[in-house]
Each structure stands twice: as structure tokens, then as C-alpha cells.
Amino acid sequence: MKVTVWGCRGSLPVSTTAPTIRRKVAKALRAAARKSLGPGADVEAFIDSELPFSVHGSYGSNTCCVQVDGGGEATVIVDCGSGLRDLGNAVISTRGPSGGRYDFLMTHLHWDHLMGFPFFTPAYVPGNVIRFHGCHEAMERALRTQQSPPFFPVGFDDLGADIAFNTLIPGRTTEIGGMAVTPFAQNHPGGSYGYRFEAAGKCFVMSTDSEHREDAEADDYPFLEHVRGADLMIFDAQYTFQAASTSKKDWGHSSNIVGVELAKRAGVRALCLFHQEPTLDDASIEAFHDETRRYAGLFMPETPLEVLMAYDGMVVEV
């Protein structure tokens, strides 16, 4: 399987600013001065070897949208956050505008996970087939509502694609896009669902917008079985452990510390931190990533775990 992140921010999209870019440029120039980088220098090599990702790149701005390629012909997508616009444009540029099949798996119906669909160009093209899958019976109503007056000028019935909805049952496995997909219930206001994808002996788990409380310490905590042995788990780590346990308690999100502990206890190979706090800049997210990796080396040190930080455009081969 191949997993592509098109959006990983939590709650709302994040825009960059002129002062932010200025700080990045200043850091890059200071690093270049320390290396006495001359006119003939290999600038690309310098960027790759000397500048941290928070300076030469960005974790991105879009809300939740993840593409999962399991070898099937359909484009399988988890959630319709603002990253969906970029995904749609990329698919059209490579495959053309029509004749595509798109299977959406919805974790839940909060707006940051829906807002990209009105800007998903393939939805306007006749000949495309779109199927929404999820455990919320209100999927169609939610998507129609955001494309109704006064919220949006183009109505849902004006879309050109063939669109239908399929309600899934938690715990029941369904074949979607050449993969066995099993939804499972999560703790989040209004309810959310994670998804376990399995194909060709590989396993990917998508678990965002989920809060783990004190019962997560139990040996028989159900979440452990849902993610057991996954090669990659995308995990909601919006908050620090302190914030998730105090001021952000009952907000429906989790922490990096809990993510590490659950992943190691379940034998997950790689943990990808996701649903990043929108108030954090790139440097703060990078520091958060570094702190998480350090903790992963301390908790159950005999159990290896790769810790990744999601960013817009990230591609992970599972």
C-alpha cells in the first residue's frame, strides 16, 4: 500500500504569513553564511543536508485528507478536508478529468473533514463515480447542507458525477479499492470512526479525531486490537499529554505520549503523528516531533517504533 497525506492539520486550515517566511529566510541565510556558501555551491545539497525541515519545508496548511492506494483502480480517500482540492487537481492532471472512481471513507462529519468537497473538481465532471462510505447515517445530509444556501453557491444536485452513499457497520469488513477495510468506533464528540486497511499482507490504520482516557491503560483496551500489528498508524496527536489531560480534556483528541504508548503496546511498526494543532508553527511542530521520538526511545525501549510527523505531500510506502 501507499499512503499519501494531502492534509493533516486539525480543526481549521492554517495560512502562512510574511513574517513566518521572513524568519525562515533569515535562518537559511545565517546557515549559508556559517558554511561560507559561494556562488558555485550546490544549493540543493546544502538545503538537504544543512537546513531542518521546518526551515526548508513546511508541515502544511490543509485539514484532513489522506489517500490510500491498495492496488485497486479506484482512488480511495479518507475524509474531505481542505487537502481534497489539491488531491483532485493532482488526479486530473495525471489521469484526466473524467472516467474516474473515487471511494471516500468518512471518519466523522465535522466541518474540517468536509470543507474540501465543494472544491473537488472531479465531483463536477459527468462520467466520474463517487461513493461515500461511513458509519454515520447523516453523511448525505451533512454534505448537502454545506452545499446549500447561504453556505455555497453550487448545490449538491448540480454536481455532475454519479454520487451515492453506503453506510458501514463497525467491526464488519468491506472490500474497498482492493483492500479489506474494517471501521471501528472512537471517542469523539458526535462519534468518529477509525479504519483498518489490509492488503497483500500489509496493514495501515487511520485513527484521527479520537480521545483516549484512563481506560486506555487496561490490557484489554479495545483500541489495541483494532491497530494490532499495523505497519503504519496515523494517529491523532493534536495535544501534549499535559494539555490532553487538563485544559483539552473531553475535546475529543489525543496526545503524542498516548500515541507512542498505544503503538508500542499493540506492536505497531511506524507511528505517524497527525491532526496538528493549528496554533503551532513549523518549528514548534518539529520540536514536538523530536520530543516524541525521545519519549519513544524511553518507553518500552526494547520495542522499536518509527515516529513520523505528517506533512502535506508526505508519501509513505507501507
CATH no. for residue 127? 3.60.15.10
| Same domain? 45 vs 144 | no
Query: Cα 64 from chain centroid?
Result: 5
| Same domain? 257 vs 186 | yes
| Same domain? 127 vs 244 | yes
Q: Show the domain range for 27.
A: 18-56
Half-sphere exposure of 177 (CA within 13 A, CB side): 27
| Same domain? 66 vs 131 | yes
Task: Determine contact, residues 37/46, Cβ cutoff 8 Å.
Answer: yes
Task: Determine contact, residues 312/5, Cβ cutoff 8 Å.
Answer: yes
| Same domain? 198 vs 261 | yes
Orientation angle between helical segments 43-50 and 18-34, nearest 10 degrees: 100
What is the per-residue pLDDT across 22-76, written as a single tens digit (0 to 9) for each?
999 999 999 999 999 888 889 999 999 999 999 999 999 999 999 999 988 999 9
Q: Is the dihedral of CA 204, 208, 210, 212 positive or negative?
A: positive
| Same domain? 304 vs 184 | yes
Q: What confidence category does residue 121 fall into, taking pLDDT thresholds of 50, 70 and 90? A: very high
Domain count, the chain: 2
Alpha-helical (H) ranges within the chain are: 18-34, 43-50, 53-56, 83-95, 139-146, 222-227, 241-245, 256-265, 282-298
**Per-residue pLDDT at 41:** 86
What is the per-residue pLDDT across 129-162, written as a single tens digit (0 to 9) for each?
999 999 999 999 999 999 999 999 999 999 999 9
| Same domain? 267 vs 313 | yes
What is the per-residue pLDDT across 264-282, written as a single tens digit (0 to 9) for each?
999 999 999 999 999 999 9
Rounded CA gap, 310 and 83, in Å?
A: 13
**Per-residue pLDDT at 38:** 84
| Same domain? 110 vs 154 | yes
**Per-residue pLDDT at 165:** 98
- What cell does 242 get? 499535559
| Same domain? 173 vs 128 | yes
Average pLDDT, the chain: 96
| Same domain? 100 vs 29 | no
**Per-residue pLDDT at 140:** 98
**Per-residue pLDDT at 137:** 96
Beta sheet of 306-309, edge-to-edge order: 174-176, 179-186, 192-199, 202-207, 232-236, 270-274, 306-309
| Same domain? 167 vs 23 | no
Say which residues have a Cβ less than 8 Å from residue 66's Cβ, sequence separation at least 6. 3, 4, 5, 6, 7, 8, 77, 78, 79, 206, 234
What is the per-residue pLDDT across 211-262, written as a single tens digit (0 to 9) for each?
999 999 999 999 999 999 999 999 999 999 999 999 999 999 999 999 999 9
| Same domain? 40 vs 84 | no
Task: Determine contact, residues 253/214, Cβ cutoff 8 Å.
Answer: no
Predicted structure pTM score: 0.95
Say which residues have a Cβ less than 8 Å from residue 294's Cβ, sequence separation at least 6. none
Rounded CA gap, 51 and 178, in Å?
A: 40
Rounded CA gap, 215 and 9, in Å?
A: 27
Above pLDDT 90, what percent of the chain? 96
Task: Determine contact, residues 7/250, Cβ cutoff 8 Å.
Answer: no
